[in-house]
């Protein structure tokens, strides 16, 4: 075992390697990764986007990145379940900190997020973003599509987010429709999992409703995702309200009748063969959480993203 240390987020000399901070102490970067704006050698970058001015119900997701980082301390750098490995033995990951946004001028928010995301993507590192409300996925999609072309969207959510808008609204409920109309995503290869509300249109995106998720096995859901995306470049977005409120009470628009965290994590575990080029976890609002249930779920989802990347790198 390496010598014990603390504040690995500041004292680490490398982007690889396990930390040894106590789970209850030390600087709270995501999974104790080194805080730095230097992306040299990074395989993946974790970035917070503390924005929640687009919510239609309960605000508070601006505190999501902090909550996810805090909850990630539970991953104490033993081999991570279910990947049976130290994720950072070979995978170089940095915590890039948060996006600086002007809380008094929200019209500047989309361009600010897109510009900073494009800067990170220029390094060729995988970008894992921590929201924030779901509107932040709109500029993230634009930045990724500018590099990779129209994307297959895999969205875990209770809501379709396809309500019509004028192309200018700052709204967490309409960005998917906008992305479909603007050619940022390819609806014919996009899929939404866990939907438990109705929107006026589906934009040609395949839906797996909440009751269908309940009846399907995790393997069947993963296979449906695999068939729909058909080898295209995928952006994976996870609205924490995809989970039933029993497993994710700390969110702005909870909807009963959703899946368990165990089932959806099992689905994610089986997506390692997808060509995922970017991902996020959004809508965690810790003011409504209990005992960090929601934050732990969000941190675990983010950890799974990195676990799949670590496996993919090991196979090369």
Binding-site residue ranges for Mn(2+):
134, 157, 159, 161, 239, 241
163: Cβ–Cβ under 8 A, 6 or more apart, which residues? 171, 173, 174, 177, 199, 200
Residue with tokens 């987010």: 161
Is the previous residue joined to 231 through a cis bond, with omega within 30 degrees of 0? no
SS3 275: strand
Residue 280 carries which DSSP code? E
List binding-site positions: 134, 157, 159, 161, 239, 241
178, 170 contact by CB (below 8 A)? no
- Distance of alpha carbon 96 from alpha carbon 36, whole angstroms: 6
Strands (E), 99-170: 126-131, 152-156
């Amino acid at each position: 075992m390496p010598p014990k240390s603390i504040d690995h987020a500041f004292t680490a000399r490398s982007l690889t390697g396990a930390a040894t901070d106590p789970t209850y102490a030390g600087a709270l970067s995501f999974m104790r990764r080194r805080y730095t704006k230097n992306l040299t050698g990074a395989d993946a970058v974790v970035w917070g986007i503390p924005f929640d001015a687009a919510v239609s119900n309960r605000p508070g997701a601006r505190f999501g990145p902090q909550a996810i980082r805090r909850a990630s301390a539970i991953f104490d750098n033993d081999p991570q379940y279910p990947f049976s490995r130290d994720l950072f033995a070979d995978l170089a990951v940095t915590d890039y900190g948060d996006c600086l946004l002007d809380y008094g001028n929200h019209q500047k928010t989309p361009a600010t997020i897109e510009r900073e995301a494009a800067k990170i993507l220029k390094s060729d590192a995988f970008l894992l973003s921590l929201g924030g409300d779901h509107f932040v996925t709109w500029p993230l999609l634009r930045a990724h599509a500018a590099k990779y072309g129209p994307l297959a969207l895999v969205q875990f959510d209770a809501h379709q987010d396809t309500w019509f808008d004028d192309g200018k609204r700052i709204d967490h409920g309409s960005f998917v429709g906008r992305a479909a109309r603007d050619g940022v995503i390819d609806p014919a290869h996009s899929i939404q999992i866990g939907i438990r509300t109705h929107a006026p249109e589906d934009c040609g995106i395949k839906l797996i409703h909440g009751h269908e998720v309940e009846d399907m096995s995790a393997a069947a859901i993963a296979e449906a995702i695999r068939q729909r995306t058909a080898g295209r470049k995928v952006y994976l977005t996870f609205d924490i309200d995809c989970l039933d409120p029993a497993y994710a009470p700390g969110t702005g628009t909870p909807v009963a009748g959703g899946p368990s965290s165990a089932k959806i994590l099992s689905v994610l575990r089986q997506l390692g063969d997808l060509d995922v080029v970017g991902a996020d976890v959004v809508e965690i609002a810790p003011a409504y959480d209990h005992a960090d249930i929601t934050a732990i779920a969000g941190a675990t989802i983010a950890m799974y993203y990195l676990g799949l990347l670590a496996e993919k790198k090991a196979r090369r």
